[in-house]
Structure 1
Amino acid sequence: MDKIKLLTFAVIGLLLLNLTTLSLLFINPPKGNEQNHKRPQEIIVEKLHFDKKQQEQYGQIIHWHRGRITDLEAQIRETKQDLYTLLQKEAVDETEKNNLITILANYQKEIEATHFKHFEDIKKICRRDQIKDYNTLTMELSKIFSQKQRPPKRD
């Protein structure tokens, strides 16, 4: 068998192997944790079994939460810009640097307090029969929110 025939068989074999692999992936896609593909909002609604009225209330809670977090993140960006602008000076004023770092820490504290209030507000809209699910959810919060976030859906 000459080299050309051997090379032709190898190319055809690799092509068939690739096509088989691709067809198997389309027929049986890899199964992962479907929860990883859901937004935190969807997970919370599902786990707490919110009815339509509760989902509307939850939407209002989310609107307030996102607005507050967006404002705080903007203030953090501005303060960081002020902080890093200090690096352009001949000598950094330590008092000014420390004040800006303290301001950043306070903004982060406000973010955490805002997150905590967000979940207190969610608890307030739960019915008694949902509190057990809510308590279970609180044990999973760090896991749910440590996942990479997809951008929110635009309405």
Structure 2
Amino acid sequence: MIKPPRQRWLLVLVAILLLTNIATLSIYWFKKPDRDGGFGRDREKRMGQFLVDQMKFDTAQEAAYWKLRDSIIVIQKPVMDSIRNAKKRFFDLLKQPDATDSMLTARSNEIGVLQKRLDSVTFRHFQKVRAICRPDQLQKFDTVIKEIVNRMTPFRRKLGGDSSMKK
């Protein structure tokens, strides 16, 4: 009985590894991404759970928090949808070669008003969450809220410090 050469086994092994790599990569490539770019319910739940975990809420506080969280999401969603639509209308002005500065200003002011509304709603929400904290949790809340706000504004990169401080 003749033994096949070792190179043939190595070639088969490389082919198997290549096929498994292709299969793995195709799973990642063809997997449907989240409709909202990763800002969906799972992310909302993780952000909420982060606060619960950090604050070490008791059962009553946690129940009150999730009730507040559900109500804020119902309020925020239409405002966020309006901001998204306002930004689409703003950038649709690129298609108009005769877009004036007053048109840009009007559309950007619309975005600003909606963003202001969203920020006010979010601020009031965090006030209510702070109100359910015990006195011994308030300092921790104030620290944790800074991290949450940083997570809510991912586009602000720290390049050698806070860019607002350089002005």
Q: Could you tell me the TM-score, scaled by structure 2's length?
A: 0.59
**Secondary structure in structure 2 of the residue aligned to 1:43:** helix
* RMSD, aligned α-carbons: 3.2
Matching residue of 2:35: none
Partner of 1:109: 116
Equivalent position to 2:144, from 124, 137, 150: 137
Structure 1, residues 93-142: CA drift from partner, whole Å, max 9, x if none?
44233111111022122222222222211110001122232123123224
> Is there any run of 5+ residues in structure 2 with no aligned partner, and where?
19-42, 155-167
- Which residues in structure 2 correspond to 1:2-17 (within 5 Å)? 5-11=5-11
2:76 is matched with 69
Give the TM-score normalised by structure 1.
0.63
**2-structure distance, mates of 1:105, 1:54:** 34
Q: Number of aligned pairs?
A: 126
Matched residue SS, 1:39:
helix
Show CA shifts across 1:42-79 (max 9, x none): 11111111122212211221122212221111222332
Q: Counterparts of 2:117 and 2:92 in 1: how far apart (Å)?
A: 24
> Residues 94, 143 of structure 1: CA spacing in aligned structure 2 closer, same or farther, 3 A cutoff?
closer
Structure 1 unaligned regions, length at least 5:
19-35, 148-155
- Match of 1:126? 133
In structure 1, give the amino acid aligned to 2:138.
Answer: I
> 1 CA distance for matches of 2:141 and 2:117?
23
Residues 31-110 of structure 1 aligned to structure 2 (within 5 Å): 39-87=46-94, 89=96, 91-110=98-117
Which structure has more relative contact order (CA 8 Å, sep 6+)? It is: 1
